[in-house]
Amino acid sequence: MVDRADGRKISDFLANATVADSDVFTFVSGSTNYKITKSQLKTALGIDGGSTIARGIAYMQDNATNTVIAAAATPVLIAGTWLSGPTNDFTVSAAGRLTYTGTETRVMSVDLVADLFPVTGNKELYVQLAKNGTLIAGTLIASQVTSSGRVSMTTVWSLSMAENDYIEAFVGNSTDGIDILVSNAVLRMN
């Protein structure tokens, strides 16, 4: 017995038992022809079939590796070993790079939460995000921090991500070249 499409029969073509996310559906509405991929339809409907919602999380907990600051006001990639949280259409590197592996270009939100300590003295520290190695100016968030305390900083942004684009988290010291310890951090995209 041959599987046929459910619903009103519009052709004698055999029905597929499975439909890939890249397969295209065509339909007519108000005398206009439309087409949409299965992935786009699921996203529009808010359906998460396990591969629809792109998301990636990289995190560090109890990191003890200082980020070496070469000069004041020069952002540096946050040092430490990052781990992968839940991901879908993303890979996570041990250096904290979130790389988008999905095939459709999408607008996504990214956020970073980080606990920072200056190694010594009172400093103005900041966090900042970068896409494909280029710093995103609008994501710079700064705060005054004492050597006896820590500060938690959060920055958020929205941007378009194409296949193999990546996001990284940077930290900087506006006061001088003293190193920074980022003890805990979460970098998330969706």
Residues 26-65 have pLDDT tens digits of: 778 888 888 888 777 777 776 655 445 899 999 999 999 9
Residue 28: partners with Cβ closer than 8 Å, 6 or more residues away: 34
Shared-domain flag, residues 154 and 65: yes
Shared-domain flag, residues 86 and 42: no
Shared-domain flag, residues 41 and 84: no
Shared-domain flag, residues 112 and 181: yes
**Tokens in use for 112?**
């970073």
Alpha helices in the chain (DSSP H): 38-45
Task: Please count the structural domains in the chain.
Answer: 2
Shared-domain flag, residues 29 and 90: no
Instruction: Name residue 118's amino acid.
Output: P
For residue 177, give the 3-state DSSP assignment.
Answer: coil
Say how far apart CA 102 and CA 53 lie, in whole Å. Answer: 10
- Domain contains 103: yes
User: Could you list the residue range(s) of the whole structural domain that residue 77 is in?
Assistant: 56-189
Answer yes or no: are the C-beta atoms of 184 and 80 closer than 8 Å. no
Residues 126-153 have pLDDT tens digits of: 999 999 999 999 999 999 998 878 899 9
Shared-domain flag, residues 17 and 105: no
Q: What is the pTM of this model?
A: 0.74
